[in-house]
Amino acid sequence: MIYLNSGINPQTLRGTRTGVYVGACVSEVEEGLAMDISKVSGYALTGCSRSMFANRISYTFDLQGPSYAMDTACSSSFLALQQAVLGLRTGQCDMAVVGGVNICLRPVSALQFHKLNMLSVDGKCKFLDSEANGYVRSETCSVIFLQKKSEAKRIYATIIHAKTNTDGYKEQGITYPSWKSQSALMKSTLREAGIKPTDVNFVEAHGTGTGAGDPTESQAIFDVFCQDRKEPLLIGGVKSNLGHSEPASGLCSIAKMLITFENKCIPANLHFKNPNPNIPALVSGAVKPVIENTPFTDGVVAVNSFGFGGVNVHVLLKPHQKELNQESFKIVETIPRLILISGRTEESVNHIFDFIEQNPKKVTRDLLALLYDISQTTESSGMNYRGYLLAKNNEETAAPFPREVARVTEKRPIWYIFSGMLCFNIKTTRE
């Protein structure tokens, strides 16, 4: 789906220097497939081994750039993102697939986190709240596609910079966060990107809702972004909405920001009632949690992701601004327009047709160009259902548009048709 959303048919990427970077921790599927001696076949390793999380994608789509998985606990997918950005900038790859996955199958894993006093007993992540008592584990499989801006057909956001560091030794223990390390990382990321702290309009925090995590991160954010700031700094935490998907959580934050940029609205945090008294910046009003859906226009956004082993990652984003005029929505001129769509099922093709019919004010020339680019490659990529829609003028939305969807079961032969009339015309012309 990431390819389709970017206007790229997967078949066109075969043999390209596209990197695959995946963040993942414990492979909980392994216990179900590889631990029962009576069922050992050897093939389970090709699915349970974390290296295969990335390598299988490269194998399936014949992507020949860097391909590896990494584990830095909760910051895994964000480190994958940082490594992908580095790979693009240093020429190791031309495009990159970045993924994060977390599936909760083993009760013992949850018990381990519970014994570390990290989990909320009431199943709610109350980020920044006075009653914050941990997080709730959740599942995620999230994937994004990175391209150089000059080559991208569709852009949701631009990554200004991404950087990582590690806490090192801490007297409190390896799982305890360090506000000094977090602060140092944010400052160096801003400095290298040439961004002033006051240019950042919103911070999407790691925000686990734990007794140690929230005060520590808030102190670092205050130290970096709130000096010389006239207005309160807006702060959010997607874990209050989705729970904590651990190694995949960083990409959940990215997804939230892309939705924010697309809809020009910051989704509200949940479960916030009273400010945590252990966070001075919150009590003083220097930082302000977003507890209502809040308009977002433009500006730089900072996103945090921290691993409980001490690996921190910080990313700076900005929305892609493109002005649309009336010509952008003028998809039909004097005659109807033929729109070609391909999909994996008949329902998927009709879903796109339904969207075009029901949302004429959202259908632009650029969108139709993306759909065309996806559909023009006839070689099979699993999208064996193809259809067409004959679009009338945008304003004529009452009448249904003619459409047809058919399944292509085999490669169609090429036919050369020579009509008698054509031959007659050619002969007449020569005479």
Annotated catalytic sites, by residue? 74, 206, 244
Distances in Å between the Cα of 38 and the Cα atoms of 42, 46, 47, 96, 246 are 12, 18, 18, 39, 32
| Spatial distance between the Cα atoms of 310 and 178, rounded to a whole number of angstroms | 8
| Spatial distance between the Cα atoms of 257 and 143, rounded to a whole number of angstroms | 14
| Spatial distance between the Cα atoms of 132 and 270, rounded to a whole number of angstroms | 12
Are 173 and 308 a contacting pair, CB within 8 Å? no
Q: Element (H or E) spanning 250, and its range?
A: helix 249-263
Distances in Å between the Cα of 345 and the Cα atoms of 2, 341, 352 are 17, 11, 11
Phi, psi of 151 (to 5 degrees): -110, -10
Are 163 and 192 a contacting pair, CB within 8 Å? yes
| Spatial distance between the Cα atoms of 52 and 30, rounded to a whole number of angstroms | 12
